């Protein structure tokens, strides 16, 4: 069985039906490792690579298959995820097992890459819940920014807005905390999905702010703060912003400005 070093990348092709690839690796000491899977050519639903980590006894330690119990039907739902965090508690020899989810499908395009690396806390996907901001002079409006904290990132995150129209400024706000019930039978959610955090920005519009005849593209910037130092922008989202006369004119003005029917 071939061996790989950690961190490292293994590449291969599932070209024969029922083909299973096995690669060994050694883990030194307790550490959290990240397993990432790529399919650069054929991908789901044609190619569905299942990756399993087995210990020296053949017991499954982790897999890229996320399992969750369906509370309505009482059956297990399984989904292949491109990333999983695996906690190793001591030195050991392990085997990486890779195969298609079926034993029938295979093709020269069933190319895979599997990266095993140490966990690196960082900011992930950033999304602005509002697709556009239509503002009215003298009226404040909430804008929500959702940031994903990948791999146990627990540092500070700075959110700012650049390129707002004259008379508009963005300040930090506090919205009522959403009380979400715990996910019943959710499986190992922490292994496959990052934690999401919602930030609130309040768009303060001066009473005498000039109206904007066309949308102005504002940029929502997200930066990480590490040891008190503000880093370079890690993500930015462009959002069209307009200042209109009244809220009743917002929909019509916005639609005409962006050329929508």
d(CA 39, CA 99): 12
Summarize the confidence of residues 35-44 as an average pLDDT: 94
**Predicted local confidence at residue 106, as pLDDT:** 94
Which pLDDT value is given to residue 235?
80
Note the pLDDT of residue 74.
Answer: 64
In the structure, what pLDDT confidence band is assigned to residue 247 with cuts at 50, 70 and 90?
low
Domains of the chain: 8-118 (2.60.120.380), 122-175+186-245 (2.60.40.3450)
Is 49 a residue whose pLDDT tops 90?
yes
Confidence of residue 71 (pLDDT cuts 50, 70, 90): low
Sheet of 216-226, strands arranged across: 133-135, 229-243, 216-226, 156-162
Please choose, from the candidates 194, 122, 188, 202, the residue with its C-alpha nearest in 3D space to the C-alpha of residue 159.
Answer: 202
Return the pLDDT at 3: 93
Residues counted in the chain: 261
Q: What is the CA radius of gyration of the chain?
A: 24
The per-residue pLDDT for range 82-91, each reduced to its tens digit, is 999 999 988 8
202 closest CA partner among 174, 177, 170, 239: 170
- Is pLDDT above 80 for 187? no
- Residue among 23, 186, 193, 36 at smallest CA distance from 115: 36
Output b/e per residue, 13-49; b: 16+ Cβ within 10 A: ebeeeeeebebebebeeeeebbbbbebeebbeeebbb
> What confidence category does residue 112 fall into, taking pLDDT thresholds of 50, 70 and 90?
very high
Confidence category of residue 184, pLDDT binned at 50, 70, 90: low
Average pLDDT value over all residues in the chain: 86
Q: Is residue 92 within 8 Å of residue 7, measured between CB atoms?
A: no
Residue 169 CA to residue 167 CA, distance in Å, equals 7
Contact 24, 2 (CB under 8 A): yes
Tokens (6 digits) for 193? 């999905």
Does position 157 have pLDDT exceeding 70, yes or no? Answer: yes
């Amino acid at each position: 069985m071939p061996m790989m070093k950690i961190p490292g990348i293994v590449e291969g092709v599932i070209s024969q039906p029922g083909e299973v690839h096995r690669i060994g690796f050694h883990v030194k000491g307790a550490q959290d490792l990240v397993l990432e899977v790529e399919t650069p050519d054929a991908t789901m639903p044609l190619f569905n690579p299942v990756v399993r980590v087995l210990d020296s006894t053949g017991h499954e330690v982790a897999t890229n298959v996320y399992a969750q119990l369906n509370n309505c039907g009482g059956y297990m739902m399984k989904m292949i995820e491109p990333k999983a965090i695996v906690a190793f508690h001591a030195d050991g020899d392990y085997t990486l097992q890779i195969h298609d989810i079926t034993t029938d499908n295979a093709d020269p395009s069933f190319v895979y890459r599997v990266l095993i690396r140490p966990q690196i806390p960082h900011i992930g996907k950033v999304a602005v819940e509002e697709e556009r901001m239509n503002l009215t002079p003298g009226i404040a409006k909430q804008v929500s920014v959702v940031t994903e904290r990948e791999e146990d990132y627990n540092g500070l995150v700075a959110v700012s807005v650049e390129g707002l129209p004259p008379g508009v400024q963005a300040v930090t706000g506090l919205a009522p905390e959403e009380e979400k019930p715990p996910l019943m039978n959710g499986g190992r959610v922490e292994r496959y999905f990052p934690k999401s955090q919602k930030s609130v920005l309040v768009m303060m519009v001066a009473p005498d702010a000039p109206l904007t005849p066309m949308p102005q593209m504002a940029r929502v910037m997200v930066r990480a703060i590490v040891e008190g130092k503000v880093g370079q922008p890690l993500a930015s989202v462009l959002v069209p912003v307009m200042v209109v006369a009244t809220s009743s004119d917002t929909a019509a003005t916005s639609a005409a400005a962006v050329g929508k029917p």
